[in-house]
Every structure is written in structure tokens, then in C-alpha cells.
Amino acid sequence: MRLEITGLAGGGRGVARSGGKVWFVAGALPGEVVDADVERERAGIVEARTREVIAASPWREPAPCPVAGACGGCDLAHLQRAAASEVLRSAAVGALRHAPPVLADAVREAPVRVSAMGWRLRARLRWDSAQDVLGFRAARSHDVVTITPCRVVSPLLLRALPEVAGALSRAGAGDGELEWIEDLAGEKAVAGWRGGAVPEGPLGGLAGFHRLTGDGTIAPGGWGETGVEMHLPVPLRVPVGVFFQGNRHLVPGLFATMTELVRAADPVRVVDLYGGVGFLGAAARHAGAGDVTVVEASRPAAAAARRNLPDVTVIASAAEAYLAAPGAAAGTLAIVDPPRTGLSRPAAEGLVRWRPERIVLLACDAARFGRDGGRLLACGYRLESAELWDLFAGSHHVEILASFSRGAA
């Protein structure tokens, strides 16, 4: 089907209208004419994928990553980096079409922190034992595809891949999952393995290789170092298997921005919900906050936060449980960095019932930002600032960092 692309949807797909239907076309940019193949269709909506570009946008990358079509990771690999700011903002605004207009207006004017490629310091790779392939999943598939030469991972990972894959093959490893974490400089890496015994080391330039349980706990049977250190104004040790922001280029700037927001607010207390190993809590501490609490449901991450921030209160608890009795709201700044699904209903209800004086929300998904930010506005909060962060460069996913202040009760 030949289509003229008139806009960009929240999921990064080009939008077209033809035959009384709305088409969402992967691999297409606004202003382009493309031939597309139908992937699925329902109730007047067609999802399709670009087969051939007939008339290209000036935003189109002339030499995209050669594995982007097969790999499911970078759905905007066809976009030039110079156009990322405009496209990411457009995609975010599209995802906010059902949100309060004040949120979409703020995002439309928000600055965008664009990332360079080669950004991944964390990766989760799948091992397909039948095919002897260690790589990422294909788009909308359980198939595993090779990622050489991927443009978002580091040279360190690309150099290690053949040797690690060879070791897994020689060991007769069944299907499994490999977690990769490296430092900001891309000089040291540690791997975690979910799938049986760990291959013997040394291997692939790794500083360590360990078995992981389902919740990310390091199990016996590995070798070498268990994590890497992120050299930030407050150094953070990050063990393999736990969450950490994955963009090496933007992590220092995000730390600095959070420091500035906390310093400007000058709160009596900071509570970092979904605190991980203490990244944003460390920024609050660096800003001079004397009373900081980090709340984290993952026990391995909470244990790391305690080691990283010995003068901070760390509570190993789900945010929902903590919000049942969160303490004083006056003078409190809450940092809220939920997963991509956004705030659960109990967490959102607990947060607005608590009514901390200020909330800094880091939303992984624009539509969820619309939902969660809309709840805050409905409960009397004011949006003070918003920024877009290209933490997943090469994809439509953009994080929104927004600051809210409480109105009169």
C-alpha cells in the first residue's frame, strides 16, 4: 500500500490516512511517501511496516544501522541524530493527546537532552542455544538476532560478544539471559547469567561473570568482580543484575539536573521512591539535603544503596507499602521514578493522599506521564518545569523529567 505520512504517533510510527482507516507505519517519517506492508488490522486501525521509501524526508538517516530492521531495539534507527530533538518532542506530544493540555503544551516547549549513540552501559542479551546466537530479540518476536555491528552498545560489549558466545556454545549452555553492566567510561564490565553454570574465566575482557537468581541476587558459582563503579560526584557501586540508568552520555547530566532541582527547592526532607542503588538519592544528598530516604523494592538494589549512601535511610520496600505511612508532607520533596508502566493505582493514590510539598517525576513513557501528571494536576499540583531526556537514543522512548509544586490544600 502506498501511503503519505502526515505525522508521528506516540509510539514513533508514521501516521497516514487511507481508505477510511488510520495507518501507523513503522520505519516512516512525516512528509514521506512509502510503500508499506500490513502487519495487523483492527477496527479501522492498520499497523504496517515500511517496505520501500518512495519520497524520503530530509530527516532520514542515509546509512542506518544494518541490523536495525531485524533487531527490535531501535525503532528510530532511520532518523538522523540532528532531527532527534524535533521527532522525540513530536512523538511525546502525540502520546499526550488524551492528557491535560497543560502537559502537552509544556512538552511542546520543553528542551530535549539528545544523546549520542554508543550509549548503552547496561544490556540484557538472550542466548539461543539452537542457533548459537547471543543478541537482542527481533521486533515482536522471541527470535534472537545477532547485534553486530550494533550502534547503541559499546565497543567493549561488541568485542566481548564472540568470545562469550563461543564459551556458552562450548559449555553446551541451554537458552538463557545475559545481563551486562559496564562503567561510564566503557572500560570495565561485569556479566550476569540466568541459565545454569557460568563459563570459566577469564573471558571476553570481563572483570567478572556471575550466576543470577530471578530477582537479581548474585548466586554462588561465578568469578571475579560483582559490579562496577560509576564515577559521579557521589561514586556509586552498581552490582550486576540490578537496575541503573543505562545511558552513559546522559547519566552525569541527569545527576547534575536533579542536584539543581533539589538545591533550588531546599527541602527539609527528600524521599526517593523507586530509588534503585541510590542514583537520584545521591544527587539529592550532593545538593545538600540532610534528610534523605531511599525506598526500593529490590533487595539487591536496596543493599547496594545502603553501601553507596551510608548516611541515608534506605528502606527495602515497595513504594505502595511505604506510601501507606510516609510521614510528614510539609517541607518534603518526593522523587518519583517509576517503571515504564508508571505509577500503580495504589502508589498514585498514596502519593496524592500524602501530598508532599514538591514532586519531581521522571517518567519513562510519555503516555504514562500524561496519566500520572494528570492525577497530580487534578489534586492541586502545579507543573513548574519539564525536560525531555533521550535516554534510549535510536528509539521513540523519551523520558520526561517534570517538577510539580503543591497548591493550597
Q: Strand runs (DSSP E) across 357-398, as ranges?
A: 358-363, 381-389
**Which CATH number is 247-406 given?**
3.40.50.150
The DSSP bridge partners found for residue 25 are 14, 48
- For residue 303, the number of C-alpha atoms closer than 13 Å in the C-beta half-sphere is 12
CB atoms closer than 10 angstroms to residue 142: 9
Cis bond leading into 64, ω under 30°? no
Contact present, 299 and 243 (Cβ < 8 Å): no
Give residue 148's pLDDT.
87
**Is pTM beyond 0.75 here?**
yes
CA distances from 64 to 69, 82, 120, 369 (A): 9, 14, 18, 30
CB atoms closer than 10 angstroms to residue 30: 17
DSSP assignment of 114-159: PPPSS-BSEEEEEEETTTTEEEEEBTTSS-EE--TT-SSS-HHHHH
Contact present, 359 and 376 (Cβ < 8 Å): yes
Give residue 67's pLDDT.
87
**Which amino acid would we find at residue 160?**
A
Distance CA 327, CA 261 (A): 22
**Which CATH number is 2-72 given?**
2.40.50.140
Cis bond leading into 310, ω under 30°? no
Contact present, 138 and 145 (Cβ < 8 Å): yes
Nearest Cα neighbor of 120 from 202, 59, 184 is: 184
Distance CA 357, CA 270 (A): 10
Give residue 408's pLDDT.
58
Instruction: Give mean pLDDT in consecutive 10-residue pieces for the chain, a chain of 409 residues.
Output: 92 92 95 96 94 96 87 90 94 92 97 97 96 91 91 96 96 96 98 94 96 94 97 98 97 98 98 98 97 98 98 98 96 97 97 98 96 97 98 95 85
The domain segmentation of the chain, as residue ranges, is 2-72, 122-228, 247-406
Distance CA 139, CA 145 (A): 10
Q: Which three cell numbers stand for residue 117?
A: 549513540
Q: Which three cell numbers stand for residue 250?
A: 546522559
